Structure 1
């Protein structure tokens, strides 16, 4: 979730609210220092390398990294002459990024007429995530989008009973599921495969990618499409749910201690955009 997307406090779908006597502006933007070295690779060359990156959080978007112009290879930037208008931050100038024999249009941008209260973004360049080869923090590649320091995952064991049914058939029943609490999402309940009738799970083609958990596989259950999923090789940080299965309460019946779980709004992740790229191919090619 972080601050500004999914159901975070600065997002359009926030589930909480600020306790203030006066209404807040409809849109709140937030900027802060990243305090990590970040680098950008394009055409097998480093075109940005900075310890002075700032992250911009806009409502409904993942955070975007902005690099000081002094820390960007100027030869990689070619002014396109194209401008757009940002509703909060004013005129935006777009750049073509060049490297070797490769050229990508509208691959970087800069705010050129910032209001006074947004001076932290002056003389800074941002790069379209999907247009670059890769982004790094120190020597570790960051996949999907800029890492959000406000995004958190907690995993907890529980003795509550979870049962999954579809069409009157029990698909899973466990007295020791695992609860995964992820910022901005309703709790997700993961079940050991030993507690599942796996004959009811039909693996389907296509994976999605989570920057925090890894590649996700999906299953149909009868006529319920993509009703279950599993991180079969979960990242070490969330290894406790590795190869367990979770079920979608809007596709099948999920009961926790006898009470049916209802789908919650705002749970769908938007996987693509100028500041994001959650393609499974990106992690497969790592």
Structure 2
């Protein structure tokens, strides 16, 4: 019987997972090096979508201290698609652990990061501690990384397209192009990145919202004030990552919230964490 690989990936989300990485991983805190290792692992706690680093405790250049009672970190649930298992939204804080273990403070000579380390009670992770990505500054080899570590099983491909792509909302055309860049990302809908000259920016307002993606960079957003569904409906990435050079300066719209037509065919709105609550069945 054939196996659909995306089902295998989604099926592992309830489990504690890990994967060694060959990259040199460095973390600093308050200007002090916490770890510099070639022996890091990527770890996904049960229900976590994105990985974080686990490093050998013997290679830590900081002190681990027993912390006080762990704060109650809210658990934010999310489904990647209709029918997929409920997972932890990446915005769920590090302090919400879904496997047994001990939470610890990390102290350097000048700075302490409360609760920034976790020692899982799992024999396969013996000798390793997991570090909170948000508490430190990180480099893979000599390059800064943001958001979270890159998942080696998560891929982004960008391809040029001459198809006619049209975006509208409440009957108003917001963009139309034959020069889109199509971004294919594991377990996510195709995103259509459109040259700004083909977008009705005169109908839109730039938003203060900013987000980061470890694969594409920092995004800034635009809203279409003519619709209730138009808030933060489009975005564009900065130029920090060469991997995403094909979409630098281009805008994409949430397929989940707009009417998207490709070569005259209206596309179904996918159900994802970025869908409207009513479209997610909430």
Question: What is the TM-score when the length of structure 1 is the normalising length?
Answer: 0.76
DSSP-derived class of the 2:124 partner: helix
Partner in structure 2 of residue 42 of structure 1: 29
Q: Distance in 1 between matches of 2:44 and 2:219?
A: 26
Partner in structure 2 of residue 280 of structure 1: none
Shift of residue 251, structure 1, vs aligned partner: 2.9
DSSP-derived class of the 1:61 partner: coil
Equivalent of 2:258 in 252, 256, 266: 252
Partner in structure 2 of residue 199 of structure 1: 202
Where relative contact order (Cα < 8 A, 6+ residues apart) is larger, the structure is 1
Shift of residue 155, structure 1, vs aligned partner: 0.8
Equivalent of 1:66 in 45, 51, 54: 54
Q: Distance in 1 between matches of 2:142 and 2:222?
A: 35
Name the CA shift for 1:34/1:25 in 2 (closer, same or farther; >3 Å): closer
DSSP-derived class of the 1:239 partner: helix
Partner in structure 2 of residue 274 of structure 1: none
Are 2:132 and 1:128 equivalent residues in the alignment? yes
Residues 104-138 of structure 1: per-residue CA shift (max 9 Å, x gap): 22111112x42xxxx33001111111222x12222
Equivalent of 2:173 in 160, 170, 175: 170
Contact 2:209 2:221 in 1 (8 A): yes
Partner in structure 1 of residue 41 of structure 2: 54
Shift of residue 261, structure 1, vs aligned partner: 2.1
Q: Distance in 1 between matches of 2:161 and 2:96?
A: 50
Task: Kindly tell me the number of residue pairs found equivalent between the two proteins.
Answer: 244
Shift of residue 235, structure 1, vs aligned partner: 2.5
DSSP-derived class of the 1:204 partner: strand
Residues 174-198 of structure 1: per-residue CA shift (max 9 Å, x gap): 1222211011210001111222222
Contact 1:204 1:219 in 2 (8 A): yes
Contact 1:34 1:54 in 2 (8 A): yes
Shift of residue 26, structure 1, vs aligned partner: 7.8
Are 2:214 and 1:211 equivalent residues in the alignment? yes
